[in-house]
Chain A
């Protein structure tokens, strides 16, 4: 039945709407709460064909039935059967969009380049695919079109082809069959390690921004790496590894030693992720405050000696906060000018989330 076509047309209209309103979804976070395994559910107002119709006043008055004196509550006139029609404007519909499609929209909106996994880190897996051709095979796998083409070639090359009577009769040696072809499939492994400063100077708004950014970064990376690993580290003066939930909920107070997180991250990589096999993406978010210049120097040398040579790209996002000095970003900028293994981004507020994501992922690494 052709309702399937109408349905898919409707869905593509809806998706176009999501695309148009994409910026709003990125910065509002309503998608994250609605996430299921493979899909996100996006609430949209039901799309309507406009007609001249009565305004909302019509609903303020009506006829009902039941007990009760004047000015007693009459209950809520719910949607009642039968009287469909002029009440559609308020319904919401939920559209299911797969994470894959969401990533596509993100990529399209930000014009993100495809990520090219590091060459040596690809494990090739061979897979059998019926995409080849062979002159022998079972009749069930005979390719009619190719067989015809072969026969046609034979006719033309032997000069027996007659355009007025274009009958082609294939003979045994024209026959073409589908055959197995071994296709190497790249199999890549990747891990994202999120580090976040949870010291007193990082407020709720800053954490929400980090949460939104990490959601979109994950979405994009997942599109490129099947089976993406994620790890979470929080730090103030000391660092510890936590699960995703704790990562976004924890609020500590006290000082900040960024190096503690970097050291823990180094340990995790060395323990679990052989740099020859894994694509590694460390992300660090903070407000740019560090305890001392001494600690910053430790961080810089860790970056230079361990991280940058071993990871795909190291990303640092600095979330603007009232209390942070923002010094760390400046230190990094000074130390690593034009080093494209390090990505720096400054996030002044929710509005800048999109451009910051572009900073991080725009290099295609």
Chain B
């Protein structure tokens, strides 16, 4: 498969060895040399050579290839989380660029292999994607292109409604219907089979069951507790054909596969940038390449005023952490010291920096990373600020340089990794089989036109009216789409007399 030229292959071996010597631990990584058109194709497929047929990949391709042809942007590196890892080098890049990309890629590969959020991803995703493509092509043959495409469009509309935090528990298990309905929590744990009837006597079980049935009668709540994995729920309970269920499961699988990458963007890019910079400047570059390297490195880690660059924040944080743990700038003593001079010269020669950053790449994600390691010193040194849109002038202005505000803003942007949290509260709302969704409002409103369109797509799958509780402009509303028209009912107290307004459960 690998089609590297002799020179590139020589460099690859060298860089791979250097990376291993630095302590990076990665699956075998296969580099392929491809031209710009191929890189646009693969890029639009999210890094994979084969995906199921869908127009949105064509749209991506159109944009990637055009913006390359017009000289607006260029994909430097692409690597996919599989075993072995596949990475792509673009023909015609300079040798320095190729080396930079290889060093960077080894950083990513190490991250994929070791970060805990990736531990449950399917490492044979390349095959899985091809398998998905085959299945969808088969459905197209059987049910027609239009029908399948329409259904995929509907499904993709709900693509982000998965439970990102369940990744560690292997989301495949969630497809188990039990988690939605049965509740056998009254059973005591049985260690030895022969004790079963003593620990949980049949009479006791019967009694508990009866109790629960009564309870269920009173409270016909379904699902029993709110469900975040909306796609999985729909797969099980929406009135769908088998092929439609399968398409939802394909969309869900791919969504879960890509989820960890969205959860560790800053960490992952920071880690790879840290390592390419470390290895390039110490072991790989020759004298004539240093200027070009500096140019390209600063281009990648340049933070536009008012922009957020995960490469930049990531690499700076890793370097900061390494220094702090090398000099012992952590723990109670450090945080209680407020003598400026002492802090400046603080060095306990602990030399734990390297160990610490390897630990971080193993067990953190972006949210925990920023939450724990973004310090006031760091913000001051990197001149960070919160900007706001001044509505009068229409310009963006520096709002504050207060550390707490910066941190809050960063974490806020990353809450649920930039996706709104939406749960299925009740699938038999009003006892009419309607779906009730609850948006956990975090201070940002949903975009109304997208909300309506998504509810429409959800209706096409659930086939009963869709209700969504959210806050819009500081007022709680229940939005409803019944298949023909949209309506909204205010939920605030003074408006409770809304005519015919449905009873709405208290906000979760």
Chain A residues within CB distance 8 Å of chain B: 1-3, 5-11, 13, 46-78, 80-83, 85-86, 89, 93
B56 to chain A, nearest CB (A): 7
Across-interface contacts of A73 in B (CB, < 8 A):
395-398
Task: With A61-B387, A63-B384, A77-B307 as known contacts, state yes or no: A53 contacts B409, CB within 8 Å.
Answer: no
Q: Interface segment, B240-248, B326-334, B416-424? A: B416-424
Q: B interface, by DSSP: helix, strand, loop or mixed?
A: mixed
In the bound complex, how far is the Cα of B451 from the Cα of A89, in angstroms? Answer: 13
User: Would B54 and A6 count as touching, CB distance under 8 A?
Assistant: yes
User: Would B385 and A52 count as touching, CB distance under 8 A?
Assistant: no
CB contact list, B398-429 vs A, under 8 A: 398-401, 406, 409-410, 413, 418-420, 422
User: Would B439 and A52 count as touching, CB distance under 8 A?
Assistant: yes
User: Would B310 and A62 count as touching, CB distance under 8 A?
Assistant: no
User: Would B41 and A61 count as touching, CB distance under 8 A?
Assistant: no
CB contact list, B424-478 vs A, under 8 A: 439, 444-451, 453-454, 457
User: Would B309 and A81 count as touching, CB distance under 8 A?
Assistant: yes
User: Would B306 and A2 count as touching, CB distance under 8 A?
Assistant: no
A52 to chain B, nearest CB (A): 5
Across-interface contacts of A72 in B (CB, < 8 A):
397-398
Across-interface contacts of A66 in B (CB, < 8 A):
303, 305, 383, 385
Across-interface contacts of A3 in B (CB, < 8 A):
41, 44-45, 57-58, 61
Question: What are the 10 A-B residue pairs with the smallest beta carbon separation, nearest first?
Answer: A6-B58, A10-B58, A50-B453, A77-B306, A75-B305, A80-B307, A7-B58, A55-B447, A60-B389, A10-B55
Q: A interface, by DSSP: helix, strand, loop or mixed?
A: loop
Across-interface contacts of A59 in B (CB, < 8 A):
389
**In the complex, B135 has a CB within 8 A of chain A:** no
Name B133's closest neighbour in chain A (CB-CB): A2
Across-interface contacts of B390 in A (CB, < 8 A):
71
Name A86's closest neighbour in chain B (CB-CB): B418
In the bound complex, how far is the Cα of B467 from the Cα of A36, in angstroms? Answer: 49
Name A95's closest neighbour in chain B (CB-CB): B62
B381 to chain A, nearest CB (A): 11
User: Would B383 and A49 count as touching, CB distance under 8 A?
Assistant: no
Task: With A74-B306, A86-B418 as known contacts, state yes or no: A49 contacts B398, CB within 8 Å.
Answer: no
User: Would A70 and B387 count as touching, CB distance under 8 A?
Assistant: no
User: Would A64 and B158 count as touching, CB distance under 8 A?
Assistant: no
User: Would B382 and A2 count as touching, CB distance under 8 A?
Assistant: no
In the bound complex, how far is the Cα of B38 from the Cα of A71, in angstroms? Answer: 46
The interface centre, meaning the residue of A1, A10, A56, A74 with most chain B CB atoms within 10 A of its CB, is A74
**In the complex, B386 has a CB within 8 A of chain A:** yes
Across-interface contacts of A60 in B (CB, < 8 A):
388-389
CB contact list, B334-361 vs A, under 8 A: none
User: Would A6 and B395 count as touching, CB distance under 8 A?
Assistant: no
Across-interface contacts of A2 in B (CB, < 8 A):
50, 53
The interface centre, meaning the residue of A52, A69, A74 with most chain B CB atoms within 10 A of its CB, is A52
Across-interface contacts of A93 in B (CB, < 8 A):
59, 62-63
In the bound complex, how far is the Cα of B383 from the Cα of A53, in angstroms? Answer: 30
**In the complex, B160 has a CB within 8 A of chain A:** yes
User: Would B305 and A64 count as touching, CB distance under 8 A?
Assistant: yes
B410 to chain A, nearest CB (A): 5
**In the complex, B157 has a CB within 8 A of chain A:** yes
Taking a contact as CB atoms closer than 8 A, the residue among A6, A9, A54, A65 that contacts B383 in the complex is A65
The interface centre, meaning the residue of B49, B55, B158 with most chain A CB atoms within 10 A of its CB, is B55
**In the complex, B311 has a CB within 8 A of chain A:** yes
**In the complex, B120 has a CB within 8 A of chain A:** no
Name A75's closest neighbour in chain B (CB-CB): B305
In the bound complex, how far is the Cα of B418 from the Cα of A59, in angstroms? Answer: 12
The interface centre, meaning the residue of B44, B304, B312 with most chain A CB atoms within 10 A of its CB, is B304
Across-interface contacts of A86 in B (CB, < 8 A):
418
User: Would B382 and A65 count as touching, CB distance under 8 A?
Assistant: yes
Task: With A9-B53, A51-B450 as known contacts, state yes or no: A77 contacts B41, CB within 8 Å.
Answer: no
Across-interface contacts of A6 in B (CB, < 8 A):
44, 53-58, 61
Across-interface contacts of A5 in B (CB, < 8 A):
53, 58
User: Would A51 and B396 count as touching, CB distance under 8 A?
Assistant: no
In the bound complex, how far is the Cα of B28 from the Cα of A275, in angstroms? Answer: 77
**In the complex, B126 has a CB within 8 A of chain A:** no
B415 to chain A, nearest CB (A): 10
**In the complex, B83 has a CB within 8 A of chain A:** no
B491 to chain A, nearest CB (A): 18
Across-interface contacts of B50 in A (CB, < 8 A):
2
In the bound complex, how far is the Cα of B399 from the Cα of A73, in angstroms? Answer: 10
Task: With A52-B439, A57-B445 as known contacts, state yes or no: A13 contacts B55, CB within 8 Å.
Answer: yes
B72 to chain A, nearest CB (A): 10
User: Would A53 and B419 count as touching, CB distance under 8 A?
Assistant: yes
Across-interface contacts of B62 in A (CB, < 8 A):
7, 10-11, 93
User: Would A56 and B410 count as touching, CB distance under 8 A?
Assistant: no
**In the complex, B253 has a CB within 8 A of chain A:** no
In the bound complex, how far is the Cα of B422 from the Cα of A47, in angstroms? Answer: 24
CB contact list, B278-327 vs A, under 8 A: 303-312
Taking a contact as CB atoms closer than 8 A, the residue among A50, A68, A70, A82 that contacts B450 in the complex is A50
**In the complex, B235 has a CB within 8 A of chain A:** no
Q: Contacts A3-B45, A59-B389, A74-B306 given; 13 further ones with Cβ under 8 A?
A: A1-B49, A10-B59, A52-B446, A56-B447, A61-B386, A71-B390, A73-B397, A74-B305, A75-B306, A77-B306, A80-B308, A81-B309, A83-B310
